[in-house]
A = this chain, B = another copy of it.
Amino acid sequence: MEENQTTLVRFGIMGCATIARKMSRAIKLAPNSTPHAIASRSLEKAKAFATQNELLDEQGKLIKTYGSYVELLDDQEVDAIYMPLPTSLHVEWAVLAASKKKHLLLEKPTALNLAQLDQILEACQVHGVQFMDATMWYHHPRTAMMKQVISNSANFGHIHKITCTSCYPVGSDFLERDIRVDPEFDALGALGDLGWYNIGQILWAVDYKLPTFVTALPAATLNSKGIILACTASFQWEEEPKTTATFHCSFLSSASMDVTVCGSIESVHATDLTIPWQEKTASLFLTSGAKCVNLQSGSNVEAEEVVVETQLPQEALMVQEFALLVKGIKSCDKTWAEISRKTQMVVDAVRNSIDLGYKPVYL
């Protein structure tokens, strides 16, 4: 039976991770969702988080707080779970959430590997709940505009090369203590935390067609526990005309979020595709080959800046999209699950290539 279209999707937030601050604001901003409860392993922590972030329910009261995740999942008033747990805990809690009929907005990386993600997706399928990973940049209107540019093959031409970076300098405290460099929690390191974005961007650019093979470039930087702190990888599509992609992700370098898609006729570039520098506007830079740079005579043409406005930040647009699917679905929507699945598959391939001594891994 179709759910009521006018009521808000009531979110339960599972854990008080730093990213949950940004996401609880997004749940408040999205017009079709509301925070409803928050759980932490410590009730005090959950209460402090709800208070500090002014998380009010539909009646304007402080949202419910729980000292255990199970209690949150048992709350019949909660429609959907936003789950920012450490990656190694995803499979256990996501499967349980689905079995409790909670729709699932799951932080990225979705799982430690594809087998785990498939368990999660199967549980969502079986229990008829919506799945989406919390990759925000897909939902910005600038992304749609860029996609329109590169999809117009008469104007853009064939996509020859995609180049992305995802760098974020974490500092020595993080390198020693953060869960994202601890194999107990986030064994994928920078590849899962940052490379996830680039892999998604590359797949997005080619309409989610998997590359023929993936090769990590020697040499990745690993910590003493084997966690990836920085790596570079290349993707190859073998059909003619060829497409090549490279990305670099790193916890060690200054912030960089460049994405460049080079077509045979036009190129498009953004410096902040993953997280826009500004909340209300975002730019893309378009170079047209028709009035291309002339290396011989020097008659250059600067890239054209296209500014895209948005009323809501991309994380709120993501919540809105998710909530629309939750409200609208009769059976599980497969699109977002497929995107997550392909992204995870390529994450695994890059990790495998590193483990195999930088050999190509065919998909």
Contacts and interface: CB of A to CB of B under 8 A. Distances in A.
A232 B244 contact: yes
Given A22-B297, A253-B264, A254-B289, A303 B246 contact: no
B167 A262 contact: yes
A252 interface: yes
Contacts of A219: 236, 238, 242, 244
A267 B157 CA distance: 31
A254 B248 contact: no
A165 interface: yes
A276 interface: yes
Contact of A263 (B165, B254, B272): B254
Copies held by the complex:
2
A218 interface: yes
Interface in A258-276: 258, 260, 262-267, 269, 271-272, 275-276
Interface of A: 18-19, 21-22, 157-158, 160-161, 163, 165, 167-169, 213, 215, 217-219, 221, 230, 232, 234, 236, 238, 241-242, 244, 246, 248, 250, 252-258, 260, 262-267, 269, 271-272, 275-279, 285, 287-289, 292-293, 295-298, 300-303, 313, 315, 360
Most chain B beta-carbon neighbours within 10 Å: one of A160, A264, A296:
A160
A276 to B, nearest CB: 7
Nearest to A296: B18
Most chain B beta-carbon neighbours within 10 Å: one of A158, A242, A285, A315:
A242
A265 B184 CA distance: 28
Nearest to A268: B254
B169 A165 contact: no
Given A167-B161, A248-B163, A300-B276, A262 B256 contact: yes
A163 B166 CA distance: 12
Contacts of A295: 19, 168, 275
A288 B253 CA distance: 10
A256 B168 contact: no
A167 B161 CA distance: 10
Contact of A169 (B260, B265, B278, B360): B265
A296 B263 contact: no
A302 B277 contact: yes
A234 B236 contact: no
Given A163-B163, A242-B221, A256 B264 contact: no
Contacts of A242: 219, 221, 230
Most chain B beta-carbon neighbours within 10 Å: one of A18, A255, A296:
A255
